[in-house]
Amino acid sequence: MLDPRDLLLSSYDYPLEPERIAQVPMDPRHSARLLVVEKNRGDSLVAARHKTVWDWQDELLPGDLIVLNDTRVMKARLHVLRPGGGQAELLLLEPRGNGRWQCLARPAKRMRVGDEIWLEGMEQQSIPLKVIANDHETGGKVIQFPSCYCDWETIEILLERYGEVPLPPYIEQQDSNNEEKYQTRYALHPGAVAAPTAGLHLSDELLSALRRRGIIEARVTLHVGLGTFRPMNTEDLTSLQLHSEWVEVKEEVVEKVEACRARGGRVVAVGTTSVRALEGACLAGGGSLKPFQGKVNLVIKPGYRFGVVDGLLTNFHLPKSSLLLLVSALIGRKRLLALYADAIERQYRFFSYGDAMLIMPQAVLPEARSQVDTGS
């Protein structure tokens, strides 16, 4: 039975000292630590093994399917000059057509509708932009760029010249290699403003080792946006809504999931974004996974029964975040917080550049499991 506290934001808080927040990724990527969540037996909420991400291959079986998010992080942070010469910053979120872009703005109050602002870049010619509307959905602005920059593909040339990779604010160490470090090795489709961070652990060597072991790959696309990193601010989570994100699940993915089921394999998502892509497409398909392309704003929280995903490789997430809700839906809030406390005591590294947690099917709550038998 669902605990009423599972739907209160304050129930997802936990203490974390700043030194536990990873400032740089491990090198090689697969050398990060891995907390493998064991099947819960009795009162042992912290039943787990402690490995490295390289050891993930030993937890999978030939015929299992791993699902990766192949979105590519854009250099979406831009520096602009306001009227009068004051500096400001834009973070591109989504195209709105005809060169109009939904953006977060800082300081937003000093960018008024009708203002002309100038895009600045090192040794680059200034480009005039215009604030054309307030965006009530995000608290940001709608900015008019030259009309040729109508989508992520066309604006990427401009972002390469003027933009910066939008690292999370808790990563304080500036590094000229962040553009490469804050990108998965299989990033392909442009459109994310934050990385699908579980995938940052997967090196070329590990991916090759998984293939040799007979692990099958499928790739979905979810452009990580505001819904992932914006903090929740409502105590009652009963009717929680999140900012929608663009998803594509192709026919090939559906076929690989069906083939995995037919051979008795398990579907393990790499990252919460892959979970949202698969489960969102399943929901759009009326409870059956079908090809899908479009917006998804699915909220996964305790009480959710998964339709596709059997297991999850994920990072350690921020307090009071929607990602904690998703992981709690798999293993329970009390268990999640107990595991986090144990990980902190064992000096695991947290957040985007931090260590990882592996939840295999046998550790998932019985009431949350896909109705397909995963052999656990």
What is 161-200 written as a DSSP string? HH-B----TT-----TTHHHHTS-TT--EEEESS--GGGG
- Of 20-24, 41-45, 88-92, 115-119, the range with the lowest mean pLDDT is 41-45
CA distance 39 to 204: 30
The candidate with the shortest Cα–Cα distance to 287, out of 264, 308, 258, is 308
Residue 41: pLDDT band with limits 50, 70, 90: confident
In the predicted model, is pLDDT for residue 374 greater than 70?
A: no
Q: What is the pLDDT of residues 274-301, one digit of tens each?
A: 999 999 999 999 999 999 999 998 999 9
The candidate with the shortest Cα–Cα distance to 129, out of 97, 170, 83, is 83
Here the tokens at position 144 are: 């008019």
User: Which domains are seen in the chain, by residue range?
Assistant: 4-73+179-368 (3.40.1780.10), 77-162 (2.40.10.240)
Cβ-based neighbours of 84, under 8 Å, separated by 6 or more = none
Q: How many angstroms separate the Cα of 375 from the Cα of each of 127, 309, 335, 362? A: 58, 14, 23, 9
CA distance 61 to 44: 26
CA distance 197 to 341: 21
- Containing 78, the helix (H) or strand (E) segment is strand 77-81
Residues 247, 221 contacting (CB under 8 angstroms): yes
- 3-state class (DSSP) for residue 107: coil
- Of 37-41, 106-110, 253-257, 284-288, the range with the lowest mean pLDDT is 37-41
- 3-state class (DSSP) for residue 24: coil
Instruction: Give all strands (DSSP E) within 83-159, no chain letters.
Output: 87-97, 100-106, 116-120, 127-135, 140-144
Task: Bin 156: left if φ > 0, else alpha if -120 < ψ < 50, else beta.
Answer: alpha
The mean pLDDT of 200-218, rounded to a whole number, is 98
- Containing 229, the helix (H) or strand (E) segment is helix 226-229
Q: What is the pLDDT of residues 59-84, one digit of tens each?
A: 999 999 999 999 999 999 999 999 98
The mean pLDDT of 328-350, rounded to a whole number, is 97
Cβ-based neighbours of 27, under 8 Å, separated by 6 or more = none
> What phi, psi does 357 have (nearest 5°)?
-125, 140
The mean pLDDT of 189-209, rounded to a whole number, is 97
In the predicted model, is pLDDT for residue 225 greater than 80?
A: yes
Residue 5: pLDDT band with limits 50, 70, 90: very high
* Burial zone of 281 (CB within 10 Å; 0-12 exposed, 13-18 middle, 19+ buried): buried
Residue 228: pLDDT band with limits 50, 70, 90: low
In the predicted model, is pLDDT for residue 97 greater than 60?
A: yes
pLDDT for residue 229: 62
